[in-house]
Chain A
Amino acid sequence: MIQMDKKKILIVEDEPAMRDIMNDRLIEEGFEVILATNGAEGLEAALKEHPDLILLDIIMPKMDGITMLKKLREDKWGKSAQIIILSNLSTEGAVADSIKNSVFEYLIKTDWRLSDLIKMVKKKLSGTV
């Protein structure tokens, strides 16, 4: 695979174990992965690297996912960035906030097998979702 074709995925996740396994699997699948451990880092990385897809956790230290999402949507590029919320928080408010910010993939981590998550990511990147 040529470097240029590699899709860039930003994982914003504070839990190291989660970050690592997703990182490993996505690299295995041939993606370029950027890692961030909180919303502030994630925002900076996103605005600098312009990834093709952001996997965004919600509850994180320093800056939570919803705040990062809002700030990102203020940016010209960030306005249309592809995002999947990947969280274990399943409250009404969080879901509503993500929809308000044009994110319609709100996945509860425990409900997903890793393999299904990878399929979802691929679908999203190929534009069928």
Chain B
Amino acid sequence: MPFNNIQKALSGKGKYYSFKDLALILALALAYLGAAKLGLRFASVNPSATAIWPATGVSIAALLVLGIRFWPGIFLGAFVANITTAGTVLTSLGISLGNTLEAVVAVHLLIRFNGGREIFRHSEDVFGYLLFAGMISPAVSATFGVTSLLFSGLANTANYFSIWLTWWLGDMGGAMVVAPFLILWFGGHFFNFNVRRSAEALLIFIVLILVSFMLFGGVFHQTVGNYPVEYLSIPFLIWVAMRFGQRESALAVLVISVIATIGTLNGFGPFVIGDINTSLLLLQIFLIVTAVMVHLMSVLIAERDATEEQLKDQAIELQIKVLRDEALLNSMGEGMVAIDKDGFVITINRTALRMLGWSKEDLTNKRFSDFVRAEIEDGTKIKAEDRPAERVIRSRTGLTITKDFYYVRQDGTRFPVAMVVTPLILSGQIYGAIAVFRDVTAEKEIERAQTEFVSIASHQLRTPLTSIHWYSEALSEDVRLDDKQKKYINNILSANERLIKLTNELLDASRIESKKMPFKPEPVNVSKFSDSVVKDFELLILNKKLLFEKRYGKSMDVLSVDSNIIRIVLQNLLSNAIKYTPEGGRISLTVDKVDRNLAIDISDSGYGMPKSQISKVFTKFFRADNIKTKEPDGTGLGLYIVKSVLDRIGGTISFDTEEGKGTSFHVTIPFQSKDSAGGNVV
């Protein structure tokens, strides 16, 4: 149990170390020991302080890749390395603690502030790495180490700083040269080989090694001596950074570092001046700067490549979007043309091209009005500035064209067009307009057929009706007829008149449906006009002994409203009220101005309508059950006609009813019908 607790404490996360972990810790300890021993071979200012310390690279890389919890390996390796080098158990403990803390601090800061194992994702990461792993954490190690030496008497206050600097720079070199190499090569990244690039890599590394030997290996020693020619390595390092990745860059830095260090130790190269420690420190500074530069460059290149890749992806995405939009537009059943604010075609879909008989190349980037003539019914050309799209661009409001507009095809033939034009407004700026249009030849044909039907029906049906009408009328006036014969003739006459009325209503309904009934708002004296309609019903009202009240609002003299609509409303609603109110009942009519509407209310104390049938009141041919038996004569068209007419001009109709008590209808007629700006045809 105590062992488990220790394990738990050491692992820091409440997790136990597995045997595999313990083996890794041991391996790490050995690796650290090896790297430390290698570094200590170059120690000169103090047996424990050296300008070359690859062990820092090993420790940072190991904890960053494996996890901070593997710190005991570092501690163990460092302790063994130190206890077997110089000093006491205590100094070795202090130095080992510093070495361990160095890696822990570096890894903690890198994970916290710098992207952790992805050490060089962005260019700023290189500087972060230099700060955290290259400067701060080696300072921890140097301070612990040199202070330990000071306390044990192995260093003194006079040489404290020079030992500290050596220690610091040595660790920095390990952090900057060795650690990136280990992390990038063994940190879980996968290799991907490419023969052509591998060949180039091989070439550049051979060249780099050769150059390094020339500069630091004493090849030119006889001719150039120790001249400062170290910068000659830079073009080759840049070559690696630009042509290859971060991993190759790290390897290149390591290669030049190893060769330069060996060379310098052997007295060759530009950094050999005075004592070996100073030479190594100067070399260290050169290598650290070189590492920063090479890694920075390779990151910038990687970033540039990533941006390029991203742009390429975006370009492809955009292309897909364009293709998709084009497919969408081309599959539209309607023609679509978008023009810019000068009338030039931005885009046009396949349906539009097919309808107009032009090819895409003919029209794209051309002024649409120069190629496609627009004209009205009689063939008069519509001037460019009066065409719908141009009007929309000027007014910035959409437009719907439903009649009397033709496009002329490339071959000179034309077709009637219905279109909706929408302004293209981008952040408040008018940019152009989009017209969506269709060929309404078939609709026009149907409309024409409908009109023809109405005219034929009105003539063909009415002619025999008129004959019966006039002949039975003439007969009924014949003095020679006896009473019975007279009664029969009168029955024929009244049946005939009902048939005429029914025919007229059917024709009205048909004309309203085919929009052939013209309505024109014009100044009307509403009260006089209403009186004239009411007059026709006076006899009926009198016969049924009904009480009729009418009330007109003030200033009803001249209002701009369609008298035809008032007539249809009054005639139908009054005749219903009279017909469906029993003898002695009451009917009232109110006509008044409410806001911008003419309001007509007609109430009766009649039969009312059953609740269950209220929803069908405005349906064509509908007659309520309760009045079918009382008043068998009726077409069920009156309210349908009233409702249709009011719908067309934006008026309303509503009602209250109670069976056995009566019905009130409420109608509003707008003073200016919504179609009044257009063709006036409802």
A75–B5 alpha-carbon span in the complex (Å): 129
CB closest residue in chain B, given A58:
B459
Instruction: State whether B500 touches A110 (Cβ < 8 A).
Output: yes
User: Is the CB of A88 closer than 8 A to any CB of chain B?
Assistant: yes
Residues of B within 8 A of A17 (CB): 467, 471
Closest chain-A Cβ to B560's Cβ sits at a distance in Å of 21
* CB <8 Å contact, B474 and A59: no
**Contact between B466 and A88 (Cβ–Cβ < 8 Å)?**
yes
B113, CB-defined interface residue at 8 Å = no
Q: Assess the B466–A91 pair: CB atoms within 8 A.
A: no
Tell me the smallest distance from the CB of B450 to a CB of chain A, in Å.
12
Among B462, B470, B507, find the residue whose CB has the most chain A CB atoms closer than 10 A. Answer: B470
B314 within 8 A of A: no
Q: Is the CB of B465 within 8 A of A110?
A: yes
Contact of A90 among B471, B474, B507 (CB under 8 A): B507
Cβ-based interface call for A109 (8 A): yes
Interface residue ranges of A87-129 to B (CB < 8 Å): 87-92, 94, 108-111, 113-115
Q: Please, how many angstroms separate the alpha-carbon atoms of A58 and B462 in the complex?
A: 13
Q: List 6 A-B contacts (CB under 8 A).
A: A21-B470, A24-B474, A90-B458, A91-B451, A91-B516, A110-B465
Q: How many of chain A's residues have a CB under 8 angstroms from any CB in B?
A: 22
Q: Is the CB of B463 within 8 A of A89?
A: no
Count of B residues near A, CB < 8 Å?
A: 23
> Is A113 in contact with B473, judged by CB distance below 8 angstroms?
yes
Contact among A21, A87, A110, A114 with B504 in the assembled complex (CB-CB below 8 Å): A110
- Docked complex: B409-468 residues within 8 A CB-CB of A: 451, 454-455, 458-459, 461-463, 465-467
Q: Which of A15, A25, A59, A113 is B469 in contact with, Cβ under 8 Å?
A: A113
Query: Is B523 part of the contact surface with A, judged by Cβ < 8 Å?
Result: no
7 nearest interchain CB pairs? A88-B462, A109-B466, A17-B467, A114-B470, A110-B462, A110-B500, A91-B455
**Cross-chain contact A92 with B518 (CB below 8 angstroms):** yes
A residues in contact with B451, CB < 8 Å: 91
Q: Would you call A89 and B459 a contact (CB within 8 A)? A: yes
For the residues of A in contact with B, the DSSP-based class is: helix
* Chain B contact residues: helix, strand, loop or mixed: helix
Q: Within 8 Å CB of A47, what residues of B?
A: none
With A15-B463, A25-B474, A92-B516 given, is the CB distance from A110 to B469 under 8 Å? yes
Task: Assess the A114–B473 pair: CB atoms within 8 A.
Answer: yes
Contacts of A88 in B (CB 8 A): 458-459, 461-463, 466
**Most B CB atoms within 10 A — which of A87, A91, A94, A108?**
A91
B455 / chain A contacts, CB cutoff of 8 Å = 89, 91, 94
Query: In the complex the two chains form, what is the Cα distance from A110 to B458 in whole Å?
Result: 10
B7 adjacent to chain A (CB < 8 Å): no
16 additional A-B residue pairs with CB within 8 Å, beyond A21-B470, A22-B470, A110-B504: A17-B467, A18-B466, A21-B467, A24-B474, A88-B461, A89-B455, A91-B451, A91-B458, A91-B516, A92-B516, A109-B466, A110-B465, A110-B503, A114-B469, A114-B473, A115-B473
Minimum CB distance partner of B473 in chain A: A114
Show the binding face of B for A, using Cβ within 8 Å: 451, 454-455, 458-459, 461-463, 465-467, 469-471, 473-474, 477, 500, 503-504, 507, 516, 518
For A24, A90, A108, the residue with the greatest tally of chain B CB atoms inside 10 Å of its CB is A90
Least CB distance, B486 to chain A, in whole angstroms? 16
Q: Are B473 and A110 in contact (CB under 8 A)?
A: no
Q: In whole angstroms, how far apart are the Cα atoms of A24 and B507 in the complex? A: 31
- CB neighbours (8 Å) of B516 from chain A are 91-92
CA distance A87 to B455 in the complex (A): 11
CB-CB under 8 A from A94, the residues of chain B are: 455
Q: How far is the CA of A42 from the CA of B458 in the complex (A)?
A: 23
Q: Within the complex, what minimum Cβ distance (angstroms) separates B476 from chain A? A: 10
Shortest CB-to-CB span from A18 to chain B, Å, is 6
- Chain B contacts of A91 at CB under 8 A? 451, 454-455, 458, 516
Could you tell me if A21 and B500 are in contact, using CB atoms closer than 8 angstroms? no
What's the minimum C-beta distance from A85 to chain B, rounded to whole angstroms? 13
User: What's the least CB distance linking A17 to chain B, in Å?
Assistant: 4
Known contacts A90-B507, A114-B474, A115-B473; is A18 also within 8 Å of B458 by CB? no
Beyond A17-B467, A18-B467, whether A89 also contacts B474 by CB under 8 A is no
Pick from B459, B461, B466, B470: contact of A59, CB under 8 Å: B459
Nearest B residue to A14 via CB reads B463
Taken together as a complex, chains A and B put the C-alpha atoms of A87 and B459 apart, in Å, by 8
What CA separation (Å) do A70 and B113 show in the bound complex? 98
Q: How far is the CB of B491 from chain A (nearest CB, A)?
A: 16
Could you say which residues of chain A place their CB within 8 Å of the CB of B474? 21, 24-25, 114
Q: Which residue of A lies closest to B681 (CB)?
A: A92
For B470, what are the chain A residues with a Cβ–Cβ distance below 8 Å?
18, 21-22, 113-114
Nearest Cβ on chain A to B474's Cβ, whole angstroms? 6
Q: A89 with B466: in contact, given A110-B504, A113-B473, A114-B474 (CB under 8 Å)?
A: no
Q: Give Cα A64 to B458, complex, Å.
A: 16
Nearest residue (CB) in B for A113 is: B473
Give the docked Cα–Cα distance between A87 and B454 (Å).
14
Give Cα A111 to B469, complex, Å. Answer: 10
Q: How far is the CB of A57 from chain B (nearest CB, A)?
A: 10
- B contact residues around A21 at 8 Å (CB): 467, 470-471, 474
A1-41 near B? 1/0 per residue, CB < 8 Å: 00000000000000101100110110000000000000000
What's the Cα separation between A115 and B470 when bound, in Å? 9
- Please indicate which of the listed interface residues A21, A87, A88, A91 has the most CB atoms of chain B within 10 Å of its own CB: A88
Give A87 to B458 CA distance when docked, in angstroms: 10
- The answer for the CA separation of A111 and B503 in the assembled complex, in Å, is 11
B473 contact set on A, CB distance < 8 A:
113-115
| In the bound complex, CA of A108 to CA of B469 (Å) | 13
B250 to chain A, nearest CB (A): 91
B459 touches A110 (CB 8 A): no
Q: Is the CB of B518 within 8 A of A89?
A: no
| CA–CA, A90 and B458, complex, Å | 7
